[in-house]
Chains A and B, each alone.
Chain A
């Protein structure tokens, strides 16, 4: 798409949407949101950018092959699941830091699991969309 308005808008939309996706990711434990929705939103941000500037430009921004985000995310998830095991609790038990962090709030192992989901969703969605755009 070669529309000037769309191009200009998408340069502003990309950081905004990414920030918003992180916001959604962080509020997800007790409120609606979480890794899946946040991941989809971040993937959409990159997709809009790729519509405006073409696939090559977007790949330049992401730098790594989105396919690798999937195993990294899976590692986050399995790490969050396994962490309680090392302090002698059953797996998947929610561990929480005592004090809330500034801006973020309470942080627990569930957040790392959500980050894992976030990365897997970005990786999977972008891999699918990029390979579709590649073949078309």
Chain B
């Protein structure tokens, strides 16, 4: 019963719709549902860990014709990680979100968004993947515009127009796939594409997919919409966007490029170049910005580069590094935007020139914030360190020395940005900022709300620490995932129920 996480999130969102104006009930129920959802994902994860790949043929239509849902280790890991950050965001928004926004259905939409994400992680059908992408886009558009400030609408317009463009490219790519193979089931397509003579057309199709997912995951020439829109919505919304939406593009890329277009040499080279440029432009962009939300936005772009780099090198070690980095990045980026939200609540601004004196006034919270900030940089033994080690190792294996240079440069740029942030926000002596009229400050909030804002940061920091210190477990997990991804015959066999002939 592997669609249970999706169905559960759907039911959760639907139940929350009944309590349209009762925000207190919604807060309570949303946290409760998120905890149950996390429990279901853990259960599914353990089940797949024990039994291997599991499938459901929806509607009882057999594999190449109906829509298959496939739970392989990669899919369920992503479901698990997305449930964790969904829970954190749900708690954080219960503490920090303004009542006006909650009244317009923030929580139901949040659950529908998570439903879309988990559906995308579990589906085994390329057109169904597109449908889940649409679910995610529509929900994220609502979340982005909730509250309807002018600045928000401006950001949302850029976000939506570019994402719609990406979706139509994705659809065109699906059209190509269907034209070439007459099938939409990813496992079936994988076999048929393998036997196809016209390799040029396959390369073109994979190029279309690269552009489509590239826009969604904000890689080099297509990343402009991200820093322009991610700092506009409330921090809780940015947190879930930063943690999961761009990573959805990366997930789709990993899935399609390993399963369907397996290791195209030409595409690999292009991806390596794009990765290097993404790292460079994201890092340099982050250096220039003064607004904390924008800095983190550019850092997302920078670290997407690392993920693409691993996919471009396309060895088992590289994919493993990518998967490790993906797990680490989702947790840390979600946490990072919640940290920026907390800083905003405490000080009323996100401009790092005006901020200061955080360490003096809030020493414990500052130490807590140090964990996500420095695991982002990858200071050993925090979580980012291990992922980068594997990527660099993989680069040494394939002798992509220039790419290694860029990965190291990206890490330095991140270190520079975070160090600047740390000295400006935490160590510099603060000045008294003029109080703004709108919104509550952290010190004016009730004890429960304060606790609700700090707790998810503690939770995610603890998980980051675990990824860093318990790295051997995550390494075993990502090794298994990369083995499954690099040799898709197990996946194909499970979906189609037949032995595949590998040429």
Contacts and interface: CB of A to CB of B under 8 A. Distances in A.
B59 A82 contact: no
Given A78-B7, A81-B7, A94 B59 contact: yes
Contacts of A70: 17
Contacts of A90: 56-60
Interface in A48-78: 67-68, 70-71, 74-75, 78
A71 B18 contact: yes
B20 A93 contact: no
A44 interface: no
Interface string B225-260: 000000000000000000000000000000000000
A92 interface: yes
Contacts of A19: none
A129 interface: no
B160 interface: no
B119 to A, nearest CB: 13
B415 interface: no
A16 interface: no
A128 interface: no
Contacts of B18: 68, 71
Given A68-B18, A85-B1, A78 B59 contact: no
A84 B15 CA distance: 21
B465 interface: no
B123 to A, nearest CB: 13
Given A90-B58, A90-B60, A78 B14 contact: yes
Binding site secondary structure of chain A: helix
A66 to B, nearest CB: 12
A78 B56 CA distance: 17
A89 interface: yes
Interface string B47-60: 00000000011111
Interface residues of B, number: 15
A79 to B, nearest CB: 10
A71 B15 CA distance: 7
Contacts of B14: 71, 74-75, 78
A67 B3 CA distance: 27
A75 B17 CA distance: 11
Contacts of A78: 7, 10-11, 14
A106 interface: no
A9 interface: no
Contacts of A67: 17, 20
Contact of B10 (A68, A74, A84, A92): A74
A85 B18 CA distance: 25
A78 B57 CA distance: 17
Contacts of A92: 58-59
A91 B17 contact: no
A133 B354 CA distance: 46
Nearest to A82: B7
B319 to A, nearest CB: 31
Nearest to A70: B17
B10 A91 contact: no
Contacts of B60: 84, 89-90, 93
Contact of A91 (B3, B11, B15, B20): B3
B53 to A, nearest CB: 16
Contacts of A93: 58-60
Contacts of A71: 14-15, 17-18
A89 B59 CA distance: 8
Given A81-B7, A91-B3, A74 B57 contact: no
Interface string B1-38: 10100010011001101101000000000000000000
A96 B233 CA distance: 47
Nearest to A123: B17
Contacts of A91: 3, 7, 56, 58-59
Closest 6 CB pairs of A and B: A71-B17, A93-B60, A92-B59, A74-B14, A92-B58, A71-B14
18 contacts: A67-B17, A67-B20, A71-B14, A71-B15, A74-B14, A75-B11, A78-B7, A78-B10, A78-B14, A81-B7, A84-B60, A85-B1, A90-B57, A90-B58, A91-B56, A91-B59, A93-B58, A93-B59
Given A67-B17, A74-B10, 16 more contacts: A71-B14, A71-B18, A74-B14, A75-B11, A78-B10, A78-B14, A82-B7, A89-B60, A90-B56, A90-B57, A90-B59, A91-B3, A91-B7, A91-B59, A93-B58, A94-B59
